[in-house]
Structure 1
């Protein structure tokens, strides 16, 4: 082997380890950069347990495990920040949706079931009591289902200090 080839081989071997490390770490980096969705959050056992408790005796829809999901939207209710995550049944988003609004202490949910072109909607409200969620929470959850929350996210934010 002539000298230029040996130098080239040495340079290649010096670069091979960092390149291999970069290639092996790419899936981890992509996993860490995965957008926050309900399915990503449900991989956390504590979060999944909270969602299970939210449903209580109401059956979780089977399609939720393979749902189409939207990006999170940050909202404010009663001066407290919440995250809203929307999921819907693959290939049938119009008829089967679930939206979750939560922070580190509280969760609220809404499940919508309907049929194509039907004016009737079956709404299952989860953890809606007599607090601010009874009006503002329902408004935010339903706004997520209709798309209004995603079209006008600033409308669902309280000014700083309120």
Structure 2
């Protein structure tokens, strides 16, 4: 009986912990929902600038869960996505400031015949030049997802 109660308590605690993590993840917008926000859409247009982005960026991407980081005391949402069925070939990572409604990003392109990776930096301001690029590249490589607390720079 005692073992059953302990197991039940651990199971319930685990479920509550997962629900808490899940609830927090649901509070952050997804890349798709961000496009519905007019300020974020305008920030995306500014970020894109004169660059032509692949069609999958706006429709047809595989999106990763949104994460948060702090850079110089400011919160940023980090979005990452890749080309559907070909993530190794094309990826995009973006930093969005919900306070200032600014966005920066990096587009990565690779091909199977080359070991080179082409990075196109999008609207990375002087404020974000080092730490912002570090976070964006970490989002592309998966390091941000694996070590989220390692990329908060005060």
Interval of TM-score (by shorter of Structure 1 and Structure 2): 0.7 to 0.9
- Alignment deviations for residues 16-64 of structure 1 (CA, whole Å, 9 cap, x no partner): xxxxxxxxxxxxxxxxx69732111102233212101110100121011
Give the aligned partner of residue 5 of structure 2.
none
RMSD after superposition: 1.8
- Alignment deviations for residues 98-119 of structure 1 (CA, whole Å, 9 cap, x no partner): 1110112121100001112632
Distance 1:122-1:40 versus aligned 2 partners, 3 A rule:
same
Question: 1:118 and 1:150 mapped to 2: Cα distance?
Answer: 26
Give the aligned partner of residue 145 of structure 1.
140
Give the aligned partner of residue 42 of structure 1.
35
TM-score norm. by structure 2 comes to: 0.75
Structure 1 runs (4+) greater than 2 angstroms displaced: 33-36
The answer as to 2:90 corresponding to 1:99 is no
**Secondary structure of residue in 1 paired with 2:126:** coil
Structure 2: gaps of 5 or more residues: 1-25
The answer as to 2:136 corresponding to 1:136 is no
Alignment of 1:1-80 (within 5 A): 36-64=29-57, 65-80=59-74
TM-score norm. by structure 1 comes to: 0.72
